[in-house]
Amino acid sequence: MRRANSRIKSEHETGQTQPRLLYVASSFTLLIVVLASCGGNAVSEKSVVLTGTVVDATDDHPLDSAWVVLGDTTLSGRSDSTDALGRFSVPSTPFLIEELTITRVGYASAVDTFQNVTTDVGGLQYRLKRE
């Protein structure tokens, strides 16, 4: 039976450092596996949004149904069509460099390049010229 006032022996005195060391090593290994399964880019889960308007270059009239695409494809979900007020909102993940392309039937396309986008970008305005 153990006495109530006996002191607990330290790891150094008992020589039982292995279980704690094994626990720390296992936890560290688990952390590495979880980060690796995220594709090595845990920041990519954050989202950013590019917002703005598209207008006619001659009279500043808002252009509806203009297609706004970030990157080289619409399959990525990084595109939008302007509303009746010419507004668009394109969601994305942070990126190093991408092109934003704006097209509409009867108008010349516009292309803008963005670099190192890690936060929302708003207030963009594009003026398309009639063809």
Taking the C-alpha atoms of residue 50 and residue 68, their distance in angstroms, rounded to an integer, is 10
Residue 10 scores a pLDDT above 60? no
Residue 117 scores a pLDDT above 50? yes
Residue 90 falls inside a structural domain? yes
pLDDT at 17: 53
Residue 23 falls inside a structural domain? yes
48 and 31 inside one domain: no
82-95: per-residue pLDDT in tens? Answer: 999 999 999 998 99
pLDDT at 21: 55
pLDDT at 52: 98
Residue 109 scores a pLDDT above 90? yes
Q: What is the DSSP string of 45-62?
A: GS-EEEEEEEEETTT--B
Please tell me the total count of domains within the chain.
Answer: 2
Q: Residues 80, 83, 88, 91: what is their CA dihedral angle, to the nearest 10 degrees?
A: -40
* Average pLDDT of span 113-128: 96
With 0.75 as the threshold, say if the pTM is over it.
Answer: no
17 and 79 inside one domain: no
34 and 48 inside one domain: no
3-class SS of residue 99:
strand
What is the percent of the chain where pLDDT is above 70? 63
Cβ-based neighbour number of residue 75 at 10 Å: 8
116 and 78 inside one domain: yes
Measured over the CA atoms of residue 117, residue 122, residue 123 and residue 124, the dihedral's sign is positive
